[in-house]
Amino acid sequence: MSAYDRERTLQARLNSFLHTHFALPEQDYYSKLDRKALASLKSLLGDINNIFTMKICLEFGVWLGNTLELDPKTRAELRDSILRSEPNTNGFDLEVREPISVVAEVKCNVPINGGSVYGSAQRNGIVKDISALMEGKSKSRTKTSDCLKFLVLLDTPEVRAATRHLVKNLKQYKETVVFVEPGLKPDRKDKLYVVHVSEA
């Protein structure tokens, strides 16, 4: 049995990803990347979470429009507001004031190691978002008590299981969280609605 080789493992993963997902010829791309190229690649990959969050936010916007039966003009304004909001701002991922006040946080977390429980850092991040949705953020002017509140997550069996496990073990807000199922129309501003959406 051969010993684990960290560099060879990372090299194989990078080369395989580029070949498989971009239909590039099978080559050793890893060996062609110097430190400057790796730094540029790292910077680019830092935007992957922002791209993923934006796509899930757009899908949630479609879901919200359908579920709340918003008119076409409002749906278009909702989409525009998502596309105009800069990533990593201090507010919520989605803030809508008219015709109905809505705040949402979008989390693209996948449970670590393909399991059905979040890791501690993931769990802490989600709990922090739940608290912010319920209590507001100091750097946002939105008064969340006046809003419908949503925690938007990926729609996979693992994420669903991990989220239910997290909520079951919450020390605060456990009774406030409502998992949205088909047919449920969110209408209570004292609740936090968990919505699972898939990327288009």
Q: What crossing angle do the helices spanning 72-84 and 48-67 adopt, rounded to 10°?
A: 160
In a domain? residue 23? no
In a domain? residue 169? yes
In a domain? residue 157? yes
pLDDT for res 200: 59
In a domain? residue 132? yes
Q: Which amino acid is at 187?
A: D
Chunked into runs of 10 residues, the chain (200 residues) has average pLDDT values of: 85 92 92 91 83 90 92 89 77 81 90 86 93 86 90 94 94 94 92 88
Tell me whether strands 192-197 and 177-179 are parallel, antiparallel or unpaired: parallel
Q: How far apart are CA 139 and CA 44, in angstroms?
A: 27
Q: How far apart are CA 19 and CA 184, in angstroms?
A: 44
Phi-psi region at 6: left, alpha or beta (left = phi > 0; alpha = psi -120 to 50): alpha
pLDDT for res 50: 84
pLDDT for res 143: 87
Q: Which domain holds residue 60?
A: 49-197
Predicted structure pTM score: 0.82
pLDDT for res 93: 84
Tell me whether the omega of the peptide bond preceding residue 25 falls within 30 degrees of 0, making it cis.
Answer: no
In a domain? residue 62? yes
In a domain? residue 18? no
In a domain? residue 139? yes
H helices, E strands: number in the chain: 6, 5
Among 192, 189, 191, 93, smallest CA distance to 145 is for 189
Number of domains in the chain: 1
